[in-house]
Amino acid sequence: MKRSFLKVLTATALVAILGSAFIGCGNTQSEPKEQEGEKKELNIAIFEGGYGKDYWEEIVKKFEGDNPDVKVNMEINPKIGDIIRPKITSGNPPDFIYLGSNNESGIAQALIKDKALEDLSDLFESDDPDGGGKLKDKILPGFLDNNLTSPYGDGKVYLAPLYYGVTGLWYNSEYFKEKGYEAPETWEEFFALGDKAKADGKALYTYQGLNPGYNEAVMISSLASVGGQKLVDNVLSYEEGTWKTEEAQKVLGVFNDIAQKGYLLDGTVAMNHTQAQTEFLQGKALFIPNGNWFEGEMKDAIPESGFKFGFMPAPAFNKGDQRYAMSMIEEMYIPKAAKNKDLAKEFLKYQYKNENVKLNAEKSGGVVPIKGGIELAKPYLPESNYNCFMVFENGIKPVFQDFKPTPNVEVKVYDEIYNPIGSLMNKEITVYQWTERIESATAKVREAQK
């Protein structure tokens, strides 16, 4: 299963459009005055998900050890959003929250809607806790200037990136080495490998047929490569005519070429994600889209010999064009109504200390998006994880599929983008029909937004 943070489109995004989930949560409260000899208290709320709780238990002890005048009160739970909702509603939110903006509770989306998040820009303008410049310059490029961390487009940061993931195309690097193949940099090179694969009785491509959303690793990255961030922004904001542009049509054409030229593994459309991934591991297809969790998820199905995970971002249309890899972020943030905002900022900044980034990887297996962060995490990651995270250290840019929240409409644009891929692969629809279906869906969203 994909980590939960990959599911950016959730029903709870409706909160951001249909109205606030909170009353009074935007009221700013002054910092409490501590009596002499009393410890300052920091209240934090932590989502206990795929990264576990071991890191948070350790970092709380460590922060208290480095700050003897502070006591950290931590609530950590898989349902932390439901637990803190009444506190936020009553104007008594936690001082610090780690709960991704895609979480089904809708907490972050509601706080964004209410403009009830503390501006963190001053924190990122402050000094790197390890020295050497400002904190913002320590963060990997692209992770502070996106709609997930800067939701209002005003250049200010309201949600700080804690963990990130990477998606792209996976291949068997041992097989490529044996055959003398190079990982393709362009779509032309990619399809040239398809003809070679056919000669060897293999398919060029497979994907998790019953879960066609995995193809987002190709779709969004390719849209960014051919049309830049502007095209991606138009897609994510449902701009009229976006999918009819020459650039978007080129991307849809990639999937059409896979279908029409016989490059898809037979039976793909009817496979679930585990079946398709097993077929790939057995060498029946050269490429499959997936994320950095791939090896861990399929550890029991990996061949004992003749296989090694290789990873690459989606190819570009022209040699030398900027390439992208779709990334996901889990964020941490501070409610504007928090009572201990300055202390909360200290704790948030503490997460970016090199020693704590390393501790985080050791205890959770998570990677923090700072420069050199992947090297700090390397001892605690599978080799395949390390290799895919390294793409952002080697000139590949991140792109995020952060669709704007939609009103309560029957159609889901995400589904209309990805679900028809199976019909296209079965040659039941054309690219023109696929395009019209997406454009029709975006039109309904735009109408509902009026």
Q: What is the pLDDT of residues 298-337, one digit of tens each?
A: 999 999 999 999 999 999 999 999 999 999 999 999 999 9
| Chain segment 186-213, per-residue pLDDT in tens | 999 999 999 999 999 999 999 999 999 9
Q: Taking the CA of residue 353 as centre, how many other CA atoms within 13 Å lie in the half-sphere pointing to its CB?
A: 14
pLDDT, position 22: 55
Paired strand residues for 77:
47
CA distance 164 to 71: 29
What is the C-alpha to C-alpha distance for residues 290 and 293, in angstroms, rounded to an integer?
A: 8
365 in Cβ contact with 359 (< 8 Å): no
How far apart (Å, rounded) are the C-alpha atoms in residues 22 and 405?
17
Domain segments of the chain as ranges: 40-165+327-393, 167-326+403-449
**pLDDT at residue 14 above 60?**
no
What band does 404 get if pLDDT is binned at 50, 70 and 90?
confident
Q: CB neighbours (10 Å) of residue 9?
A: 17
pTM: 0.88
pLDDT of residue 406: 77
| CA dist list (Å): 423 to 32, 84, 164, 260, 448 | 60, 43, 32, 12, 28
CB of 441 closer than 8 Å to CB of 431: no
Average pLDDT over residues 404-409: 79
* Average pLDDT of span 439-446: 96
User: What pLDDT, on the 0 to 100 scale, is given for residue 37?
Assistant: 65
Which of the pair, 14 or 218, is modelled with greater confidence? Answer: 218
Q: How far is Cα of residue 388 from the mean position of the Cα atoms in its chain?
A: 14
Check if CATH label 3.40.190.10 holds for domain 167-326+403-449.
yes
Confidence of residue 12 (pLDDT cuts 50, 70, 90): very low
How sure is the predictor about 449, in pLDDT bands with cuts at 50, 70 and 90? confident
Kindly report the backbone phi and psi dihedral angles of residue 398, in degrees, each rounded to the nearest multiple of 5, phi listed first.
-80, 150
Same topology for domains 40-165+327-393 and 167-326+403-449, yes or no? yes
CATH 1.10.10.60, applies to 40-165+327-393: no
Give the tens place of pLDDT for each residue, 61-99.
999 999 999 999 999 999 999 999 999 999 999 999 999
